[in-house]
Structure 1
Amino acid sequence: MKKYIITYLKSADGFNLLSLHLKNTTMKTIIKTTLAAILLLATSQLFAQREKEIQNSEVQGIYLNADNFKSGELTRPTDKQHAGDKIKLKQFFISPEIITIEQGKKTVFYKDSIFAIQLTNGENYRFINRDPYLIADTSSLYIYTRKTVKATSKQVGPRSTFIAVPVTYYYFSFGNHKTIYSLTLANLRKYVLTDSAIHMAVCDKFTSDEMLQKINKKTGRFELNETILSKLNK
């Protein structure tokens, strides 16, 4: 065995192959470590710029359905007056469940079966694809918003750099509010703008999806809803 090793190491080709293997292994390790560091940095930047996560202690109650929401009938599954009382949104793992504990009794609510949650500051959030969206306007269409970030790569010389770009997503619902749609002109034309006067007013004023996102700073309402209401009230 020793003779075999000595002979192998004395061989120029064998020695070079061994050296090359070691170099490649080292290079692969360096590349993997570098990529892991870049990914970790990009992830930390994303979470740093995301909208502040809702804390369990901020949840005041649950609206079980749209009718409860309209009438302001809030279900309070726990009074938080006993040791261990809590509401757990389980957001980190994007769980489908909300768990409440009242005097040791556990109750499970599913995010896709309730209508919304209310926070102690009065804000209401509805879960869309298990993410909480602010119910931003209910004056006509219900409009939902969520601020977050997405990672994009930018080429800087020979290197690619990850950049966290802030984005806001918009959805809407109407009628019984069971189905939620992306806020686009195509969806409005397809599902909402059945009245010719409203159709004309909306399409004349809003010529792009981005324009639908405008908010009247004086009233705090979406200009889209104000346009619809202006025709409904005539």
Structure 2
Amino acid sequence: MKNLVKKVVMIAGIAIISAGSLFAQKSGVFKSFADFTSGKMEYGIDCATEKHKIRLNEFLGKDFITVVHEGKPYNLKKNEIWGYQLCDDKIVRFQDNEHYPVADKGILWIYTKQTVKGAGYRGGTKTITTYYFSKGGDNGILELTPLNLKASFPDNHVLHDAIDAQFKSSSSLSEYDKFHKQYKINHFLESQGIK
């Protein structure tokens, strides 16, 4: 009996260690969507044991990101990479030298982009969030509007009518469903049988 208990404890310990290594947080750059889906990273690290930096160079207006990997900087053209993943599991995609943080992955991938607008001569600023989407992670990124959404399903006129009935404005398309833990548009498309 003691041997059986020892074996069970040992197997459980190995399973826990294996599960931990399967879900270890990683960070790095993906050259393509195929690399993303297969987990193939350039300049990848294990976040538990290594560190690096990924800079967008957004404020400098550069067409490349800078990855500081093993103490050396590498400049990668934004139009030559699909995106990157950070240690906190945030994923950022690129299109036309613009970056799009991924907010949800479902039937539609939802992206958010924040811009800061000045409030005029009285000072102050306002942050505006614009929502975008793509059908899956490898299609073009479009602004999340009813017209763009319907154009992504061009032959499904029943779906077009259902979108018009369910979502009265562009802002309602970007609402998050806390109960289902996804954006309402993805839950809606699933309920319509869209794949």
Same fold judged by TM-score > 0.5?
yes
For the pair 1:211 / 2:163, whether they are aligned, the reply is: no
Alignment correspondent of 1:77: 43
For the pair 1:149 / 2:116, whether they are aligned, the reply is: yes
1:176 and 1:162 mapped to 2: Cα distance? 39
Alignment correspondent of 1:35: none
2:79 and 2:155 mapped to 1: Cα distance? 28
- Of 102, 105, 116, 2:83 maps to 116
Alignment correspondent of 1:190: 151
Structure 1 residues 150 and 170: CA distance shift in structure 2, 3 A: same
Using structure 2 for the length normalisation, give the TM-score: 0.71
Shift of 1:209: 0.7
Q: How does 1:87-106 map to 2 (within 5 A)?
A: 87-100=54-67
Shift of 1:188: 1.4
Contact 1:133 1:146 (C-alpha < 8 Å) held by counterparts: yes
Using structure 1 for the length normalisation, give the TM-score: 0.60
Structure 1 residues 182 and 174: CA distance shift in structure 2, 3 A: same
For the pair 1:173 / 2:173, whether they are aligned, the reply is: no
**More displaced stretch, 206-215 vs 194-203:** 194-203
Alignment correspondent of 1:132: 99
Alignment correspondent of 1:222: 183
2:59 and 2:96 mapped to 1: Cα distance? 14
Report how many residues are paired.
Answer: 168
1:230 and 1:97 mapped to 2: Cα distance? 40
- Structure 1, unaligned runs of 5 or more: 1-58, 154-159
1:79 and 1:185 mapped to 2: Cα distance? 39
1:79 and 1:175 mapped to 2: Cα distance? 26
RMSD: 3.1
Look up the equivalent residue of 1:63 and give its one-letter code: F
**More displaced stretch, 114-123 vs 185-194:** 185-194
Structure 1 residues 224 and 121: CA distance shift in structure 2, 3 A: same
Alignment correspondent of 1:164: 125
1:189 and 1:79 mapped to 2: Cα distance? 40
- Structure 2, unaligned runs of 5 or more: 1-25
2:56 and 2:174 mapped to 1: Cα distance? 28
Q: Rg: which structure is higher?
A: 1
